[in-house]
Amino acid sequence: MGMYRLAKPLLFRLPPETAHDAVTGLLGAAQRLHLDRVYADHFTIADNRLSVDAFGQSFPNPIGVAAGFDKNAELPRALAALGFGHVEVGAVTAERQPGNPKPRLFRLREDEALVNRMGFNNEGADAVGERLDAQRLPDVPVGVNIGKSKVTPLEDAPSDYRYTYERVSDAGDYFVVNVSSPNTPGLRELQNRDQLARILEELQDAGAAPLLVKLSPDLHRDAVVDAVELANDLGLDGVVATNTTTDRPEDLRSPSAAETGGLSGRPIRERATDQVRFVAERTDLPVVGVGGVFTAADAYEKIRAGASVVQLYTGLVYRGPGIAKSINEGLLDLLDRDGFETVEDAVGADL
């Protein structure tokens, strides 16, 4: 991460979305020039103790890139070459949409957090599906996060999700139903059991598998129980816990904390881990743990709480391209310390 320590102050002088575009531009250039094959050797930790099998996929390590970083599926190989064990692209919607007005992404430097109100900006299912089909994908699982188009009425959500799935189905290794982003009006209403069931059943009818659902950290416990019971009843393949939160902890120090949108990063770590644990205690389905992962200890906490694999985004912004390598090296040390042979042995150890 030494080079990133030098680059980070320069990037952080730029507006957050401009900095993101600069970084993704560099990664895209590296991928086009096949430089990802060069730096993969530096960033990748190849050790069978890190391997995980979950929802029909084989992960070389449990650390993945969360949806939101690569919305249009432009960088799967470049991100995998940074040592990540999977990459989730999207969220992708049926319709191309510009998202919310800028500025819509904010750094909370003092809190190592972000607030975003992006609004599912993406090129749409047709374009993203064509891009996925046309490119050489990495040897790690590539998931597709599917959201609802802003213009689509809630009652038409099932067909909207199905349209997107059918355009990305050939290339995606797994599919995540996103009904938990706080930045699309009315979207979280789709976490209601009846509404969610209609969407999931429509996708299952279309053949979507492995199929997971992504839950909000702001759901009341009863609603989480309903969602998990539905996932069990329908035979889904997993649950992602969690998305960003609209709540604001009282100890946030950054003035940007007042911005409207979803909070991610360090301040939600404990809350996200609690949600992982709550879900894992109520299902045998694999859980994907997301929220506040910056270090090996953060990832290990979620794994011991029941997460089979873990995702991050904000940690990549603050810690840089070496974060997956650092976490995977640290996980091996933690496994040795606690007497586990593999990461899989540690899953749910604290339940």
Please state, for a pLDDT cut of 90, what percent of the chain lies above it.
93
- pLDDT tens digit sequence for 197-249: 999 999 999 999 999 999 999 999 999 999 999 999 999 999 999 999 999 99
> Is it the case that residue 41 has pLDDT exceeding 80?
yes
Q: Which helix (H) or strand (E) holds 211?
A: strand 211-215
Q: In the structure, what pLDDT confidence band is assigned to residue 24 with cuts at 50, 70 and 90?
A: very high
pLDDT band for 188, please (50, 70, 90 cuts).
confident
Residue 1, pLDDT > 70, answer: no
For residue 180, pLDDT beyond 70 = yes
Q: Is the domain 2-340 a CATH 3.20.20.70 member?
A: yes
Question: How far apart are the C-alpha atoms of 113 and 11, rounded to whole Å?
Answer: 15
pTM over 0.95: yes
- The backbone torsions φ and ψ at residue 334, rounded to the nearest 5 degrees and listed phi first, read -70, -40
Q: Which two tokens stand for residue 89?
A: 């692209």
Known binding-site residues for FMN equal 67-71, 91, 145, 178, 214, 242, 265, 292, 313-314
pLDDT digit string, tens, across residues 116-159? 999 999 999 999 999 999 999 999 999 999 999 999 999 999 99
Other CB atoms within 10 A of residue 185 CB: 10
- Residue 187 has a pLDDT of 73
Give the pLDDT mean for 37-47: 95
pLDDT at 13: 98
Angle at 342 between CA 340 and CA 347, to 5 degrees: 80
181 annotated active-site: yes
Q: How confident is the model at residue 190 (pLDDT cuts 50, 70, 90)?
A: confident
What b/e sequence results for 212-225 when a residue is b if at least 16 CB atoms lie within 10 Å of its CB, and e otherwise?
A: bbbbbbbbeeebbe
Catalytic residue among 180, 181, 264, 326: 181
pLDDT category at 186 given cuts 50, 70, 90 is: confident
The H or E element spanning position 80 is: helix 76-80
pLDDT at 103 over 60: yes
Helix (H) or strand (E) holding 230: helix 221-234
SS3 assignment for 304-337: HCCEEEEEECHHHHHHCCCHHHHHHHHHHHHHHH
